[in-house]
Structure 1
Amino acid sequence: MSGPRRPRPRLNGSPQGNPHGSGIGPGASSGLQAVLELPDFRLLWLGQIFSQLADKFYIVLMVFLIAQTWVQGTPEANPALAEAASAIRVNLPETRAQMITLLATGIYVANTLPAMLLGTVAGVWADRWPKRTVMVASNGLRAALVLLAPLCLLEGPEWFGLSWGYWGLVGMTFLESVLTQFFAPAEQALIPQLMPAQHLLAANSLYQATSMAATIVGFALGDPILRLLRSGLGALGIPGGEFLLLPACYGFAALSIARIQAREQPRPTSRSSVLEEIREGIAVLRERPRVASAMLQLVLLYSLLAALYVLAISLASAVSGLGPTRFGTLLAMSGLGLAVGALAVAQLGQGLNRRVLASAGLGLIGWSLLLLGQLRGSLTFTLLLCGVLGVGAALLAIPAQTTIQEDTPEELRGKVFGLQNNLINIALSLPLVLAGAVVSRWGLLPVLWTLAAIALLAAIVERPWRRC
């Protein structure tokens, strides 16, 4: 024992405990119950839920505004846009749905660029500033920023066939994503400071499950909620009800995190440059092979999931009863499997060898991809295999994230998690660009087999027969 038990973990150092043992005394709670018994962690978790929902609702709102404001008729009904498309030698989409997709792409790019470019730099500043303050400020500023969205609907000059308001939404999305990059590494670095080491695996499992649930709920219910707010408040004489959802979610997240009682010790002012501190974060990967291996596993996982996102359209089109427009059903099943796997890891995974968990996860992903190619005409088997793939993702992601938190020095966590966000966003982006072209050239089956082979090879390379 390193000392008497404390009623609340302090933020001036990492909690003590054996990261691989149970560390739980007789009669003590374990799993999700132990995690949720900590008041400060509950507040952080609630902040995560509202923040994650707001991020998903944001994308839904942008698409909603594009459809209601800039794509009310057919593309040919906008002569200015047709002229702009002709000037830059781009074929104008033929249908309203294609036009919405084209304009939404601008929002997606603006949302993705900061994640790819600024994650590591934001991680450095997350280490320099108090993490709770960073998270509250990030949510508060995002709540204020999205209040500007109604102004983008005002009439004004046109650029490239679209009113200034569309480009205003693109710029607002870019700034919103910049603020998000500060929130993410601060959040990941704060978890191990609030949570005793023996409960980190359960805490990450809960985070993974709620993150996936927020993704499903946010994208599935975002549009109905926005329409309900618009019509419901409009009936009461309050216009623009759809613009209240995002400030409310970001505001609740900020208030929840602001109520965390524990305080960090003041850090001495850093005299190193941002570039030097980025190099310190990279050095952690060289000096700590377990951290580098865990981060490589996450990069591989998110690359496979991003490829599946693209392949889901082709998979759904091969299944009678679905069709290409209902590919979201397959993604939802994968998300459900991931949430179920996360809850199972939280309750049962504490005493298991992490190499075994990682290899089992990679193995499930590999065999699921292989069988998806063989059984792609069956609705039942396709849905089941997507769920199994999600379980495999949970078995891989949660132990890997926990290992990074445990083995990274506290003063370097923000930098390492910022670097992790950079690598993961690149891993998410490249397959989105490449997978569609590869499927078009060689077909779905060879691509699924290739991805399955990569996952199964990675499971063997992990060498689960060795001790963790």
Structure 2
Amino acid sequence: MIKALRNPQIFRLWVGQAFSSIGDEIYRVGLTWFAVTLMGPNVGYLTAGQTASLMLLSFVGGKWADHWHPLKTMVGIDLLRAVVVLVPVIYSFYRPPTLEVLWVVALTLAGLGAFFDPAAQTMIPTLAKTRAMIQSTTGLMSTTIRMARMVGPAIVGLMSAFIPMIHFFTLDALTFVMSAVSVFALRAVVPNEMRESQMKRASFADAISSGFRLVCSSPGMAYIMYGKGLVAGWWNLALMIGFPFLIHDMTGGSARSFGLVMASYGIGNFIGSLYFGNRERKNSYFMLFGGY
């Protein structure tokens, strides 16, 4: 991963993804805490709605994103997310944010993420020319999410005593803008001929069915999809619903404690990604399922 980080273009892409991921985590912690306060035990419905939005658009996000220039897609979606996440902030100047506002913001941001990630993956082969560099870059990019799980909640935990919770959404918008600026700096090295594909864009139904057919054609991929789906469901139940309620009850509603506990999870996650990301992947299935 260090070799990939020394490449200035890959470094810029990594910085862009890092800012975007940190913004995601700041938003996630802030939204969860707001939702626990407003919804109580029903916060699970918000989490389920976000997951459903991401899942439905993920079926078509990658396929549709292949028709668009990846750099333009990443920059455009970052700027869109910056605008969307400011909606509760602007709304708060007139009245306290409502549950309906949080629902709209949560579902919209989850859906936009389904287009950002495939575009970012498309950029990797363009910037990393060799197989070894692509593998190193892929491992490097995976650290952005794990680093964000450490940095984002820590920012909330350390600054919640000085900044109103609503303005963590403002900070989130700033990270999206910084991500867009960092990715836009790659315009000189991303080929201009990477124009939008002229092929007919698949319909929603065709995109879903073709994705399932492709996955099911490989027994290993089908096992990964269903296995990871099951594990991720329980993981989200514990981490995104169980932890907030437990910390809320134990601390009397301390956002600082919630942020720091979530940051401690991120520290372990980040250290693990650094270790395994630098190991040769002789047995991919063991690497994937050994952690479970």
Query: Same fold by TM-score, threshold 0.5 exceeded?
Result: yes
Instruction: List per-residue Cα deviations over 1:304-328 (Å, max 9, x = no partner).
Output: 5346538976xx99xxxxx966898
**C-alpha separation between the residues in 1 aligned to 2:221 and 2:83?**
37
Pairing partner for 1:141 from 77, 80, 98: 80
Q: Which amino acid aligns with 2:211?
A: G
Unmatched tracts of structure 1, length 5 or more = 1-31, 68-96, 157-162, 232-239, 318-322, 363-391, 394-468
Give 1:51's aligned residue. 20
For the aligned residue pairs, the C-alpha RMSD in angstroms reads: 3.7
Q: Determine helix, strand or coil for the equivalent of 2:60.
A: helix
1:276 aligns with 2:215: no
Q: Which amino acid aligns with 2:210?
A: E
Give 1:173's aligned residue. 106
1:354 aligns with 2:280: no
Q: Post-superposition shift, 1:332?
A: 5.6
Give 2:171's aligned residue. 245
TM-score by length of 2: 0.76
- Pick 1 or 2: higher relative contact order, CA cutoff 8 A, min separation 6: 2
**C-alpha separation between the residues in 1 aligned to 2:30 and 2:105?**
13
Q: Post-superposition shift, 1:37?
A: 2.0
Q: Post-superposition shift, 1:345?
A: 2.2
1:186 aligns with 2:109: no
TM-score by length of 1: 0.50
Give 1:37's aligned residue. 6
- The 10-residue stretch of structure 1 (303-312 or 170-179) with the greater mean CA deviation from structure 2: 303-312
Pairing partner for 1:197 from 117, 120, 131: 131
**C-alpha separation between the residues in 1 aligned to 2:240 and 2:28?**
18
Structure 1 98/174 Cα, relative in aligned 2: closer, same or farther at 3 Å? closer
Unmatched tracts of structure 2, length 5 or more = 252-256
Q: Which amino acid aligns with 1:258?
A: F
Q: Which amino acid aligns with 2:100?
A: W
1:266 aligns with 2:195: yes
**C-alpha separation between the residues in 2 aligned to 1:219 and 1:333?**
9
Give 1:305's aligned residue. 235
Structure 1 141/356 Cα, relative in aligned 2: closer, same or farther at 3 Å? closer
Q: Determine helix, strand or coil for the equivalent of 1:273.
A: coil
**C-alpha separation between the residues in 2 aligned to 1:62 and 1:327?**
12
- The 10-residue stretch of structure 1 (336-345 or 98-107) with the greater mean CA deviation from structure 2: 98-107
Q: Post-superposition shift, 1:141?
A: 0.8
Give 1:343's aligned residue. 274
Give 1:126's aligned residue. 65
Structure 1 283/267 Cα, relative in aligned 2: closer, same or farther at 3 Å? farther
**C-alpha separation between the residues in 2 aligned to 1:310 and 1:108?**
8
**C-alpha separation between the residues in 1 aligned to 2:70 and 2:241?**
38
1:218 aligns with 2:152: yes
Whether the 8 Å contact between 1:135 and 1:186 is mirrored in structure 2 is: yes
Q: Determine helix, strand or coil for the equivalent of 2:277.
A: helix
Instruction: List per-residue Cα deviations over 1:247-302 (Å, max 9, x = no partner).
Output: 21000011111112222533542225323343333332244445444444533542
Whether the 8 Å contact between 1:152 and 1:169 is mirrored in structure 2 is: no
**C-alpha separation between the residues in 2 aligned to 1:296 and 1:243?**
33
Whether the 8 Å contact between 1:201 and 1:349 is mirrored in structure 2 is: no
Structure 1 290/130 Cα, relative in aligned 2: closer, same or farther at 3 Å? farther
Q: Which amino acid aligns with 1:132?
A: L
Q: Which amino acid aligns with 1:39?
A: P
